[in-house]
Structure 1
Amino acid sequence: MASKEENKTLGQVYQEEFQPDYYIKRYYSAIDAGNEFCLKNLHQFFEEECGQKKNTVGVAKKVLEVGSGPVPIYVISASHWSNSIVCSDFLEQNREKLIQWLSAGHEEDGTWLSYAHFVAQLESENADKESAFLVLDRVRHSVRSVIPCDVLQSDPLLGSTESPFDIIISVFCLECAVSSPKEYPNAISNVVQLLSPSGHLIMMGGLEGEHYCIRDRKIPRIKLTREMISSALEGVGCTIVTWHELPRHLRPPELPIDYTAMFFCVAKKMC
């Protein structure tokens, strides 16, 4: 007979075990090659997709981040081009942490300054440390709301009227939200239906990994491959237009994660 612990759903495990402060301290205490990989590729995508003009904030693109967690850094580049950004997460504690940061002043920016400075330098050769504060202020002004999200539901935004979106960003989310590889295509489908025709889905995550740790608890994730991602996207009418990988050994070895490489994928909705 299965134990009470074994009968818990993955969602229940997250609700009980995931601690935003620990997660930030453990995985984001210092910028590393993996963070730079994500931020550089996001910057390049938005610069190419949204054009070279630097004073067009908010005129066109509606952006959604699926699975924001308690982390504001993956919408930094988006905030240069859009003031219509929606962040979302399954966990109430993550949403509260992110809302707390969005409504705070510079005294709460310490953890994120190195990330903002890195992006500021991508945007301008003349960026100094003060630019990091300005970039984080820009994020605060660009995020319109932080809402609940469950990618296992056919309506992931749970009744919100925000969709459709021109661009959806999802970082280390979908492969961690599903309990088996069979659920992965459905999660992709649920998210893609929030995209406008010709919209873009940007995903970043880990390949071949089976867990990551929150304190002493191993949080399971599916063993994701490029073939699984390609198949799921093709099944919902999306085509991969950009694919990059970063070998695992370029990240700090002490991070409690077991994937073999990070990936950055941009897919376009063709219908």
Structure 2
Amino acid sequence: MESKASVTDNYNLHFNPKAYLERYYSSVEGYVEEEEGVLPWTLEILHSIFSHEGVSGDRLIDIGTGPCIYSFVSSCTKFKEIVVGEYSEQNRNALKRWVDNEPGSFDWSSIIEHVCQLEGHSEFKERESLLRKTIKDIIPCDVRLANPLIGHASPQKFDCMSSAYCLEVACRSKPEYVKCLKNMAGLLKTGGLFVQLCEPLSFYRLGDWVFEGILLDEAFLKSALEEAGFTQIICRSRKRTSTAGENTYYDFTFVISAMKE
């Protein structure tokens, strides 16, 4: 019998970072059976966003990072420091092991090398080193709180905020989604850039557990951002082409950029 899990019922115990990383990020192609090209598409758009002139600053905050670093490979060249906010202790530990270059930590080299090739060079070892140096802190985070950074009151707001596949699994309703987005927006400076990867889904399966999510459409995603105080919203979407697979259900993947009013 399958068991279900969500952020509110011991996600820390049920989510397996090693199994997740091995399924979705063992190669640049991603998990072909379910994702069919989503990861390279995402990496190319992130490269495009962060190679744009004027996208830079001192501090970037990432919310709901999971055990992943792929979304920083482009942005780490434009910001002096990255702060990671992640709910799960197991995921935070997986990130720390990679930052500390511990034996047995997940190997991100193929994905880092791919991004460097998009930029027109092959200096992926240097990029790997820069990324480790730029990640300054890995701290607990809960988007349901008015200050999502648990016990860490930032002395100043961030120049940029990113988030990958977080709110659609952290929230159980549209009003909660908007509220959590407003909580996150409070961390960002006026005029700051928000980059969101979003894949609204009803569920995904990992091991013996089924993790619940929420299905949302593009119109709602844009209206939620507007209600949370964002403008200049650009929404890029990719329709799922695979009909096979029993480990998840979703229709679109989105990469959204917006500015805080």
User: TM-score higher than 0.5 here?
Assistant: yes
What 5-or-longer segments of structure 1 have no aligned partner?
A: 52-58
Q: Distance in 2 between matches of 1:240 and 1:268?
A: 6
* SS of equivalent to 2:128: helix
How far off is 1:14 after superposition? 1.0
Please give the root-mean-square deviation of Cα atoms over the aligned residues, in Å: 2.2
- What residue number does 2:174 align with? 181
- What residue number does 2:237 align with? 245
- What residue number does 1:170 align with? 163
- What residue number does 2:34 align with? none
The alignment's TM-score, normalised by the length of structure 2, stands at 0.88
Q: Amino acid of the residue matched to residue 112 of structure 1? A: W
Judging by fraction of residues, say which structure has more helix.
1
- The structure with higher relative contact order (CA 8 Å, sep 6+) is 2
How far off is 1:169 after superposition? 0.7
Preserved CA contact (<8 Å) 2:231 2:260? yes
- Percent identity, aligned pairs only, is 27
Q: Runs in 1 of length 4+ with deviation above 6 angstroms?
A: none
| Residue 267 (1) aligns with residue 247 (2) | no
1:1-271 equivalences under 5 Å are: 10-32=7-29, 33-50=37-54, 60-104=57-101, 111-124=107-120, 127-128=121-122, 131-162=123-154, 163-207=156-200, 209-249=201-241, 253-254=244-245, 256-270=247-261
How far off is 1:175 after superposition? 0.9
Preserved CA contact (<8 Å) 1:154 1:190? yes
Q: Amino acid of the residue matched to residue 115 of structure 1? A: I
Paired residues, what number? 251
* SS of equivalent to 1:93: helix
Residues 1:158 and 1:49: Cα distance change in structure 2 (over 3 Å) = farther
| 1:196-223 CA-partner distances (Å, limit 9, x unpaired) | 000111111214x201111121100011
Preserved CA contact (<8 Å) 1:116 1:136? yes
How far off is 1:27 after superposition? 1.5
The alignment's TM-score, normalised by the length of structure 1, stands at 0.85
How far off is 1:253 after superposition? 5.0
Q: Distance in 2 between matches of 1:146 and 1:92?
A: 10
Residues 1:253 and 1:119: Cα distance change in structure 2 (over 3 Å) = farther
Q: Distance in 2 between matches of 1:150 and 1:132?
A: 32
What 5-or-longer segments of structure 2 have no aligned partner?
A: 30-36
Q: Amino acid of the residue matched to residue 72 of structure 1? A: I
Q: Amino acid of the residue matched to residue 39 of structure 1? A: L
Judging by fraction of residues, say which structure has more strand.
2
Q: Distance in 1 between matches of 2:162 and 2:60?
A: 8
Q: Distance in 2 between matches of 1:118 and 1:38?
A: 12
How far off is 1:122 after superposition? 1.7
Residues 1:121 and 1:14: Cα distance change in structure 2 (over 3 Å) = same
